[in-house]
Amino acid sequence: MPGISSTEITRIFSAQKEFQKQLRLTDYKVRKEKLKKLMNSVYTRSRDIEEALFKDFRKSSSEARLIEIYNLIKEIKHTIKHLKEWMKPEEVYPPITFLGSSNKILFEPKGVVLIISPWNYPFLLALNPLVSAIAAGNCAVLKPSGKTPHTSALIKDIISNLFEEKEVAVFEGGGKIAGMLLEHKFDHIFFTGGIEVGRSVMKSASENVTSITLELGGKSPAIIDRGADLHDAAQNIVWGKFLNSGQTCVAPDYILVHDDNEEELLKHLKNSVEKFYGTDISAGNSPDLCEIIDIKHAKRIKTLVKDAVKAGAEIKIGNENNHKGNFISPIVLRNILPGMQLMQEEIFGPVLPLVTYKTEEDIYDVITRNPNPLAMYVFSKSKKFINRMVSTIPAGGVTANGIAVHFANPNLPFGGINNSGTGKYHGYYGFKEFSNQKAYMKLPKWNILKLLYPPYTKNVKRIIDLAVKYF
């Protein structure tokens, strides 16, 4: 909503605060009906969604349907199926000192929530958290990315036809609009994006003492064991890395491969790139590769490659000059040094550094330079090797012998750790993220607490001593 005023934001925010008093009392039937309407609208407008994504950065219709539409539909269906169960109070056992009491965890909506979504999957990552917010009974303000104006406008059109603004409102625009929204005291903020902006959002949240979910990113490694199936690993990595032209928060940022396997892996990577995208990869001949979101990001990626080559890196797949406008062809590099800039920051593009190791200690040394990745991938035939990697390297999530598919399971929590984010969502975990888990205890008329009231006589002290020692 370009040109929106702070007064207009405050008006809608106040309306949502008032409406939340009514909305928080809705049962699962009402919430499920809203989710069904949203799902049906996604089905109905699927062609519009594909067209908007193509206009924004030439995303192929197949990729749009597979990633943006399918994952959202699956999330909605999963939530509809399980919402009644999730909303039930969770019974918990009391300590023996409160035997006879009733103890529950009640799930109540946090209130009015703000969702700030990114440009890389602009439809999915805007509406996926909204599904959880609706399921939990919240009002929501959604700020989709200003870098994908066609998709953002479509989101606003879909939402405004399904919800009154006092329940769900959409504000289009860039960082200025986000800044105006962050001045308001929301009950929860859900942000997906880069770490630098994430820090700013977290600072704003802290000033209002607002709970926050940060879905960030980082340098997610793909670790290939010495005895792994290199053909299978290469196909998985090429698909997961060059999906969305590398603009995926859970894309493998670099490969760690044993010295002995480097040459063979390169052959399999090259074969996979050619099989998936053809031998002549260019803007005109690669319909399954989208563009980089804008010229600024394209220049940044090209600079990372050029600087690495100057510092001694060797391009083994692709061509640093094979680009047109915002399109960059897939590139794989070897001879990577730790000090290169592409090993200092998340690449977020179709550039894949290949780093070799000799020992497992080498693996740990490389990963700890950029700790706590959002995702980690391990390719191995050895359960022991996989377990060692999983148990010793902190990461937001892990897929063994695959890429990114843990994101697609609504029964798994998705999110980062420390620098790669805070909080989890998807399925039940998203419902919990947007809910206040309220503790509730109901005491019977007679309870042991009455024996512990002052004055603290010898008998009372004896009961306290017994409780401390035995209960």
Active site residues: 215, 249
Residue 386 corresponds to which tokens in the numbers above?
Answer: 């996989």
What is the H or E stretch that residue 279 is in?
none
- Tokens representing residue 13 in the block: 């925010």
Distance CA 194, CA 118 (A): 9
Beta bridge mates, 261: none
The torsion of the CA quartet 54, 56, 57, 58, rounded to 10 degrees, works out to 20
Place of tokens 């995702």: 375
Q: Which of 425, 414, 426, 438 is nearest to 24 (CA)?
A: 438
- Distance between CA atoms of residues 130 and 158, nearest Å: 13
Q: What is the DSSP string of 57-87?
A: H---HHHIIIIIIHHHHHHHHHHHHHHHHHH
Distance CA 281, CA 290 (A): 12
Q: Report yes or no: 195 and 419 within 8 Å, Cβ to Cβ.
A: yes
Q: Which two tokens stand for residue 147?
A: 């870098």
